[in-house]
Amino acid sequence: MSMSGDPLSALAHCRERIDDVDRRLVELLNERTSIVEQVGRIKKESQMAIYEPKREELVFLNVTSNNKGPLPDDAVKRIFERIIDEMRRVQKVRMEEKGS
C-alpha cells in the first residue's frame, strides 16, 4: 500500500492485517497444541520423558532453515523456545490431569 494517501487510513489498514495474522497465528498455535497433547498421551502410555533436547534442536533447525525473513533466525529461535516451553507445560499439565 502506498504511503502517499492518508497515513491514518494506511495505519488502520496495516493494523487490520496484523490483527488477521494474529488470529491465524492463534489458530495455528492451537492446532500445534492439539498435536502436542497427542504426543503427551503417547509419551505417557509409553512412559517416555516429556523433555527431549534432541527433538527441540530438530525443531529449531527446521524453523530456522525454512526462515525466509525478514525476521532473523535468532529471533525465530527465541520465539520457538517460548512456544516449546509452553507446549511442554501443556503436556505436563495434561499428563497430571489424567492421573499419574
Tell me whether residue 2 is in a domain. no
Tell me whether residue 61 is in a domain. yes
pLDDT of residue 16 exceeding 70: yes
* Lookup result for grid cell 529471533: 75
What pLDDT does residue 50 have?
A: 78
Q: How many domains does the chain have?
A: 1
Tell me whether residue 1 is in a domain. no
Q: Determine contact, residues 77/63, Cβ cutoff 8 Å.
A: yes
Mean pLDDT to the nearest integer, 48-67: 93
- Between 37 and 2, whose confidence is greater? 37
CATH number at residue 88: 1.20.59.10
Q: Determine contact, residues 94/40, Cβ cutoff 8 Å.
A: yes
pLDDT of residue 42 exceeding 60: yes
Tell me whether residue 59 is in a domain. yes
Q: pTM for the whole thing?
A: 0.83
The amino acid occupying position 74 is D
What pLDDT does residue 4 have?
A: 63
Supply the range of the domain harboring residue 70. Answer: 7-97
Tell me whether residue 87 is in a domain. yes
